[in-house]
Amino acid sequence: TPAGSALSRRAALAAAPFALYSLSPAAHASVAACKSGANNCLSSAGKTNVGSLPVWKFPAGASKAEVVASLRSVLEAYPQEGQAGVDLGGWAFADDQLASTGYARLEFKSGIGNFAKFFNGGKPFIDDFEVSIGDESVAVRSSSRIGDSDLGVNTKRVNYIAAALRAKGWDAPGVM
């Protein structure tokens, strides 16, 4: 009937913005930008920030499964005892959807040094590291949960992971 077809057209038009949004690369491959002026955050989103960094591009022609496997192997190879004096309290996946949606969030813990004793009640500081796989690249974010400065911790973490990806043929710039 004419009324029935108008209703289904109306329903289709109403759903169109949601369908388009779900197909856009930003909809499935996104990490948050750092807050303006943040000194304890690095992100490939929001290029105007102090802590901006480029996305990491995986090798051309790699399948999603190959990208996931390569990225996962680098993340899982990150030393639990930390590296370069950071992340001495280990790390763990907090949200692991790499195989399904291409997103993962890891929590990295500091050691329990004087800063943690005095400023965090003797508990390790926790930083979040996020990756989100897009069509041609991986969006990245590494951020301290508290404090104004991260004392270079996020830079060391990002550079370590980026170097391991470059060794696998990725275009994964580090942070200066």
Residue 11: per-residue pLDDT: 43
| pLDDT, tens digit (0-9, with 9 covering 90-100), for 6-36 | 444 444 434 433 333 333 333 334 899 998 8
| pLDDT, tens digit (0-9, with 9 covering 90-100), for 35-51 | 888 889 999 997 655 67
Residue 49: per-residue pLDDT: 54
Give residues with Cβ within 8 angstroms of 68, minimum separation 6: 98, 99, 102, 133
Q: What would you measure as the largest C-alpha separation in the chain, in angstroms?
A: 75
Residue 101: per-residue pLDDT: 96
Give residues with Cβ within 8 angstroms of 3, minimum separation 6: none
In CATH, the architecture of 31-166 is 2-Layer Sandwich (3.30)
Residue-range domain boundaries for the chain: 1-28, 31-166
pTM of the model: 0.81
| Summary mean pLDDT of the chain | 84
Report the half-sphere exposure of 57 (CA within 13 A, side-chain side).
Answer: 7
